[in-house]
Amino acid sequence: MNYGDELQRGIAQLGIALDAEAQRKLLDYLALLHKWNKVYNLTAIRDPQQMVSHHLLDSLAVLPHLWAGRWLDVGCGAGLPGVVLAIARPGWRFELLDSNSKKTSFVQQAVIELGLKNVSVHCARVEEWQPSEKFDGIISRAFTDLGDFLRITRHLMAEQGRWAAMKGLAERELAGVPDGCQVERIIPLQVPGLHAARSLVIATCPMAEH
């Protein structure tokens, strides 16, 4: 199976421009994930072909709706979506955070092997983490429900920053959005090869304390 062809097709369907080097790095990341997964159980998906759609393309699908700046990926797990986005946008800065040291060890190794200069990896609980700079965007994929995501990361968001929550069906979580926060839009996503509901929630908390 040529995963490169499948990735290329998916990227074209998403309408994203990625050069040959970025595509090569995505496939290198996929190979690392598949190799480490055998020992460290980083993701429930074992099949590399499934990883193309469920991990790479699922992460890339949000790209057209994001903005340049300093990003935090909370609960990054095996580096999704943070590593994928960092490969696709080398001019943006990404900090990847997870409390699971097994997963951050893998991500750190992947960052080194892929030569990603725009990524830093941190092992900590988000509630206790106090970086020196705040973020223009905070993203998560399957981390926690929308309300909790906004609540526990508010101290990390820059004044004009916005959240980007990757969800399945987002509507059921809207009731939990904290006071002072608002959902700007819910963007339905079509991920090539993935037959499941996907959406991206963009939210702001203008009354957040800074």
Per-residue DSSP letters for 82-133? HHHHHHH-TTSEEEEEES-HHHHHHHHHHHHHHT-TTEEEEES-GGG---SS
Specify if 209 maps to a domain: no
pLDDT tens-digit map of 53-89: 999 999 999 999 999 999 999 999 999 999 999 999 9
pLDDT value of residue 194: 92
As a whole number of angstroms, the distance between CA 39 and CA 165 comes to: 29
Q: Please count the structural domains in the chain.
A: 1
95: phi then psi, degrees, rounded to nearest 5: -110, 130
Which whole number is the average pLDDT over 139-149?
94
Structural domain contains residue 79 = yes
Q: What share of residues in the chain are helix, strand, coil (percent, to 5)? A: 45, 25, 35
Copy the structure tokens of residue 10.
Answer: 């998916």
Q: Output the DSSP codes for 71-85.
A: EEEET-TTTTTHHHH
120 in a structural domain? yes
- 89 annotated binding-site participant: no
Confidence at residue 206, expressed as pLDDT on a 0 to 100 scale = 81
Number of separate helices (H) and strands (E) present in the chain = 7, 7
The percentage of the chain sitting over the pLDDT mark of 70, rounded to a whole number, equals: 98
CA distances from 136 to 101, 163, 182, 186, 204 (A): 25, 9, 16, 19, 11
User: What does residue 31 show for φ and ψ, rounded to 5 degrees?
Assistant: -65, -40
Rounded CA Rg of the chain: 16
Q: What is the pLDDT of residues 151-192, one digit of tens each?
A: 999 999 999 999 999 999 999 899 999 999 999 999 999 999
Domain range for 124 is 3-204
**Of 13-27, 34-48, 138-152, the least confident:** 34-48
**Is 210's pLDDT higher than 50?**
no
126 labeled binding residue: yes
* 165 in any annotated domain: yes
**141 assigned ligand-binding residue:** yes
Residue 210, in any domain of the structure: no
Residues contacting 171, CB < 8 A, separation 6+? 186
Average pLDDT, the chain: 93
Q: What is the CATH number of the domain that holds 75?
A: 3.40.50.150
Q: pLDDT tens digits for 51-61?
A: 889 999 999 99
What is the enclosing helix (H) or strand (E) of 160?
Answer: strand 157-167
> Is residue 9 situated within a structural domain?
yes
The verdict on residue 81 lying in a domain is yes
Question: pLDDT confidence of 131, banded at 50, 70, 90?
Answer: very high
pTM score: 0.95
